[in-house]
Structure 1
Amino acid sequence: EMQEDEGHTGQENNTSCKREDYLEWPDYFMAVAFLSAQRSKDPSSQVGACIVNQENKIVGIGYNGMPNGCDDDQLPWSRSADDRLDTKYPYVCHAELNAIMNKNSADVKGCTMYVALFPCNECAKLIIQAGLKEVIYICDKYHHTPEMTASRRLLHMAGVQFRLTTTITTTWHQSWRGGNKGVDSIGGDGCREGAS
């Protein structure tokens, strides 16, 4: 006589139901921004941006880095030096700029940008000129700088919504990065929980 499989628990039918622990759209898009940040060669700040249209389709992705055609081995990556020209700041392109420039053939007008760091005033100008309607970010560690004050002023005047999200938690971020507590992919230092 054949016996029934003793390993059968009757729970195999659970695959007929959808998973409950899937990523919601905002988490997914922020995770794409984090993933793109891993392409950055910047030793202290890796930032990614993801632009999404009203149908939840990604239309542009970017990360911070040197301009196309410029040898990033010949340009400085330092955050400080006696001469500002020996720092990365006059040369590096921010993630927001690259996401807008790297957009596919779709228009970004009316789209939403997911980015780890609140955009600076220069990126705010690009966001406004490109016609984006919303910026979702997880860190505003430079909140009190004149550049960020100007950025908020410009975005507000242009009617671009911006909001801090906590959907991607520090715990999730740390586990995704393999628990690396060294270089932080959203700016180098100070944007872990409670530091913004």
Structure 2
Amino acid sequence: MNKQGILFAISNKVSNGKRADYLSWDEYFMATAFLSAQRSKDPRTQVGACIVNSENKIVGIGYNGMPIGCSDDLLPWHRDPENILESKQLYDKDEFKASKKLLDMAGIRYRQYRPERQKIVIDFSVIESM
């Protein structure tokens, strides 16, 4: 067993106060989105999402991957190909505007995240020793 993990587990049981360095809700949800993004096979852009309801419950997570049933080995990953049909970047700005309007109408909050921490460390040895 990891001595540090044992001390951590004991200190949590003895202490009556809460930890000061726990993750905020935003940090927790953004870490979940970041972890989801690591599933992306896109060589240039890895994007994750964590959708949360008003009770701070996760209702969905996802990442930028191919739709179910589409092989990511057969379809192209090019951003600037010679043939436009081999591009994965076929965006229509009107669709983005419509999506934003839909989220606004549904009362769904969205914003760019600005982290307070630069790192969140997951030490599995501490978790296993508890």
- Same fold by TM-score greater than 0.5: yes
The structure with more helix, counted as a fraction of residues: 2
Of 103, 108, 112, 1:137 maps to: 112
Instruction: Please say if residues 30 and 168 of structure 1, whose CA atoms lie closer than 8 Å, have aligned partners that are also in contact.
Output: no
TM-score when normalising by structure 2:
0.69
**AA paired with 1:82?**
E
Matched, 1:60 2:38: no
- Residues 132 and 48 of structure 1: CA distance in aligned 2, closer, same or farther (over 3 Å): farther
Of 100, 115, 125, 2:98 maps to: 125
TM-score when normalising by structure 1:
0.48
Moved over 4 A (4+): 11-14
The structure with more strand, counted as a fraction of residues: 1
Q: Distance in 2 between matches of 1:50 and 1:123?
A: 19
Q: Distance in 2 between matches of 1:60 and 1:123?
A: 20
Q: Distance in 2 between matches of 1:121 and 1:62?
A: 23
Percentage of pairs with the same residue:
50
Matched, 1:79 2:79: yes
CA shift for structure 1 position 129: 2.7
CA shift for structure 1 position 62: 1.3
**AA paired with 2:115?**
T
- What is the SS of the residue equivalent to 1:135? coil
